[in-house]
Each structure stands twice: as structure tokens, then as C-alpha cells.
Structure 1
Amino acid sequence: MINKKSKILITGATGLIGSHIARRLWKEGYHNICATKRPSSKMDLLPGIVDKLHWLEADVTDIVSLQNCFEGIEVVIHAAAVVSYDPKKNDLMNDVNVGGTANMVNVALDYGVRRFVYISSVAALGKTEKSTVRSENTEWDHSVQTTDYAISKYKSEKEAWRGYAEGLSLVILNPSFVIGASNWTESSSRIWSQMAKGIPYYPMGTNGYVDVRDVSAAALMAMNSDFNGERFVLSAETISYKTAFQWIAEAIGVKVPSRALTPLLRNIAWRLEWLRSMLTGTSLLLTAASAKSTAEKTHYDNAKSREILGMTYRPLKQSIQVVGNIFVNSQKEGKDYGVMEVD
């Protein structure tokens, strides 16, 4: 059990997951919280505690800046990451996700950090043609096509495991698609603004989903546990994209996508997206690999997180309704972000 006076360092504290972890820590009495930020970081997702955290100007890609952040740190919760399917951002994604994690691990080892919780992703789990079920024990198959983001998270986990082999006390959390309120144009929260604009098609595959409140709860459970060298899949439910898109559309009062994204349409879609990106100079939102992944019938096994870590997950439809209400209200108020309550 971590003493509530312990000094805790969070990376990614201004993002969807990291901000919720910071707010949950504060609510539960952990008031010695340090958080990294960059000059461009927005603080909108941290109402009520922005001025209560000890902010440190640092970048996970700059190991020198990180060395100034670890004095007296007992616990690290590493949530900083770049999520992108745009090939133009691959270098940045690898620098932050892989190089940044390597830097965090190295400095944590140098300073004798007591506990290191790494927020990874189900994208880092092994992917095989032999089974649609993925768990903590699924082995990575390099012959199976996957996204550059997934590869970056897989490599970043290898850095975390290297740290464990060198003596770092480590727990890795692998959340599936995170349902939560944040900046509506970033990370998984982008689905809300995209749905509001109108999405005519639904992918034919399945995916796992988890409430950001459950992810933050799991982070604190992992921090306070005696587990070392363990990883846990965090996923409340696996449902079809058709159902997920229906629930999201209904939650914000827009037309439900009614046409299936067939293989032919899927191949057309990523090519049109490439053309749009080239003509507008904006980020690519869909690639051949990410388009293919939406057709996969994937099931994420959450048994270990329930039976060993002790997780109890919120019903997915309920989570979607909560975020939907926040999205609708934020649009009425002219805000490009939303904030969920910590309960």
C-alpha cells in the first residue's frame, strides 16, 4: 500500500487517461502529485486541481529534462503517449511511445523508484490468425499485419519489461478503446465529434471498450497492489462496431449508421482518406492496416483483471450515455472538450 504522502509522478496528466488518474489520486487523498507538461499543454481536463499539482516542464523524449523530475519520487504512472494512424507521425510516435518509455524506465531505475505503472494498450497484445481471443498471454506474431501504433506500443512494452528485468517494480495496464470525455478532436474521444458530423457506415468487426473511470481505478489498484511483473487487460465488454456506433449515435441524438462497411467499401475508404489527407495537408485518420483491423472479430479477455486485480466494470451502454450527455452539453456551451466526474 502506497502511503498517501508519497511523491507520485504522472506523465500524460493533461490527456484523457492521465488527467482522470490525477483527479482520482487527488480525490482519494494523494496530494503530493508531480506531473510533467510541455509549454503547449492544455489544462482543461483538470478542473479544481490544476493549481494543486506540482508541474514540471519536461518531455519524455528528453532524458535530461526527466532527470530533474525524479528527486524523491516513489511512484511513477506513465500515461504519456501519441496515438496516430498517420504515417507522417510515425517518427514522433516512436520517439514518444518507445523512446519516451525507455527514458522513463532508465531514470526510474537510476532513482530507485518504488513502483512503476505503465498505461499501455490492447494494441500491444499479441495478434494471431489462429484465435480471435486476445489476452495477456497472447504471443505477438510479426507476420500478421498490424498498425504502426500497435507496433510502437509493443516496442514500448518491451522497454518496460527490460526495466523489470533490471529490477523495476512494474505493472502494465492494457486498456481497450477508452470511453471518456476529453478534447473531442483527440485520441478515442474523437469518435464523438466524428459521429456528430455524420458517419454513414459501421465497420463489420468487434472491439473492446472500457470506461476511463475504470482505467483510473485500475491504475490506483495496480499502484497499491503487491503485483510485480504483471500486465492486465482492461476491457468492460466486447461488442460489434454496429452496436457501439448505434449506442453512441443515440446518446448524442444523431442518425445511426445504417450501412455495413464491406471489404470493397473499406478499401475505397482508406484510399479516399489518403487522397483527402494529401490534398488538405491534414493528418491521415485511416490507413490500410487500421481499416483492416475494424473488420476483425476480436474479443479481449478481461478475466485476469477481474479475478486477480479485482476490477468491476461499469456497463458499457451506461458509460456511453454518460459521455454522450457531456458531449451534448459541451457543444451547447461552445466547448471543444468535456470532463467526467470522478466517482
Structure 2
Amino acid sequence: MFYSLYNLFDINIFQYITVRAGIAFAISFFMALFLMPYFIRWAKKQKSSQPIYELAPKTHQNKAGTPTMGGIVFVFSTIVATLLTAKLNNIYVVGGIVVIILFALIGLKDDLSKIMHNKNSAGLTPRAKMFMQIGAALIVGLLLFFGGHDTLLYVPFYKNPVLDMYFFSLLFWVIVIVSATNAVNLTDGLDGLAVVPSIIAFFSLGALVYIAGNFVISQYLLLPSIRLSGELTIIAAAFIGSMIAFLWYNSHPAEVFMGDTGSLSIGAFMGYMAIVSKNEILLLLIGFVFVMETISVILQVGSFKLRQKRVFLMAPIHHHFEQLGWKENKIIVRFWIIAFMTNLLALLTLKVR
């Protein structure tokens, strides 16, 4: 809408991505901040609370009854803000909207399964959930592939592409998106733990897609130039705004959880932005907290199956620190600090080519 004002009335300010990103941030922030209390009251009346997993730390049992599916609100706010501010004829914007909605719907189905079968907090079966995620990621990958997104692979610290993946890029993109969405999902176990690292990651990735879409800046920094990708900055800004509003209610002690509706859409869009900006490898550093959580689960499961011994007291690793006696607030803030520092390092790599 705002870009159409530039076309119709020659309001020059609305042609700039940074201006429309700021507007998207404001719209999504205030919309989510306004809608969330209504959603919380509605969810409590409907008893839409996620059962607490019986093997979770005992301190988590006092969170029983906390409403879930709060991700509906910030995903909705993000989509509305994007529709009002971004160029909707942009292939990357279309792909961004598609990936957010598809994975939010998968998460919503999982959340509803948990709520309606409250004796079992497992939700969808792992196989069904993975099948849906792969299918959704493949749809997005095909959209990028046939939309003209190149299939070159770049690595940090090197200015030239190292490989043209051709059709194998579809497999690679699916792996990136599915891995990112599950990593964020695993991290979402404490109040606000996944939100702030996601906000920081979206800031970094928003900067990267903006740089990739700006020919002058990308050439100066010896980074790949991806025409039209800068519009994704607007979706990133909208997501950041809505998640900051969500954090107002999700900070410890949480009044609402995001549920899989939120965590799956966040992770999927994170992977999508890394793919568009050609920073799939750098995503390991940008999303280091999520990578750390995922590796802890892999090590725990692998060690128990092979040696019948545990590496950690409990996995994911944030539960390990809870078992060591760390207070929830301390774990959360320290993980936020790690996320901030690793994203700072990731952005510093842009100047090293």
C-alpha cells in the first residue's frame, strides 16, 4: 500500500526500503501489542494451554495452564504489516510470505493436536511433522528455483562462489529451512529464550538481504549481489516488531507461549533469508544458540543409543543448566548474550574477504 502511494502520488519517501521497513516495524509492533491481551484472555477461556511434558524439570510444572499458540498473533501482525508496506510483485517477498504461512500452519496443527489431546504433549508424530516440513520447504525451494534465484554456494571469507549446486540446490535449501525451523523449535523451552536470539538473528539477516539487494554496497563489501532481495528487509523488520511486542508478554514469568505456530515460522523464515542472501553457512554463527541447542540433543540421543550414557543431565542444553541449579532468568539472559556476541562476529566477517 505504502509503495503504491509513491507510484500514484509520487510521494518519494515511500520508495525507500528503510522507510517502509520502519513503518512495517511500527505497524506490526503496535498491532501485536494491542492484540496479544485479547488473545491471552480468549485462550484462557478456551483452555488453550499446552500440557507440560512430564519429563521436563519440576520447576516447569508451575507453568501449567499458560496459554500457547501466541505465535498466531505475531505471525498475523507480521503478514499484515508486510502486505501494507512491501512490494507484493517481488518474488522474494512472495516466497517470504509463503514460507511464514506454511510453517505457521504446520505449527498450528501441532499445537492444536497437543491441546486437544492434553494427556499427551507430543502433538504430531515426528514423522508426520517432518514430512509436512519437507513438503513446505520444497514448495518454497521450487518457488525460488523457478523464480530465477541462482544456485551458487558461497562461504564466509571468500568473495567468489565455490560451487554451482544446480538441481541439488533444492535439496540443500530444504535441509537449511527444515534444520533452522527445528533448531528454533528445540530452543523454545524457557520464557523468552528463543525470542531475543531470533530478533537479533533477524536484524543480522535483514542487514544481509539489504546489502545483497544494494548493488553498490554489495560490490564494495565483495558480497554476492541478489537483485530485488532488499525487500525482505521489510518482512524482517515486521517480524522484529511483532516479536518485541510478544516478548512483553513472554518474558519471565511468561503470560503466553508462542507454541510451534511461532517457533516453526520463525526458524523457517530465518533459513529462507539465509538462502536468499547466500549466507547459509554463516547462519551457523548467526543462529549459534539454536545450533548449540540442536547439537546438545543430537549428542544426548546419540550417546544414549550407542553407550546407554547421557552427555548432559537433560537435553536440550538449557535444561542441563536448570538441572545444575541455574535460575531460569540467568540461563535466558546468558543465552541472549551469546546470541548477541555471535551475531556481532557474523557481521564482522562481512569486511573480511
TM-score (norm 2): 0.30
Larger relative contact order, structure 1 or 2 (CA cutoff 8 Å, min sep 6): 2
Name whichever structure is richer in strand by fraction.
Answer: 1
TM-score (norm 1): 0.31
Name whichever structure is richer in helix by fraction.
Answer: 2
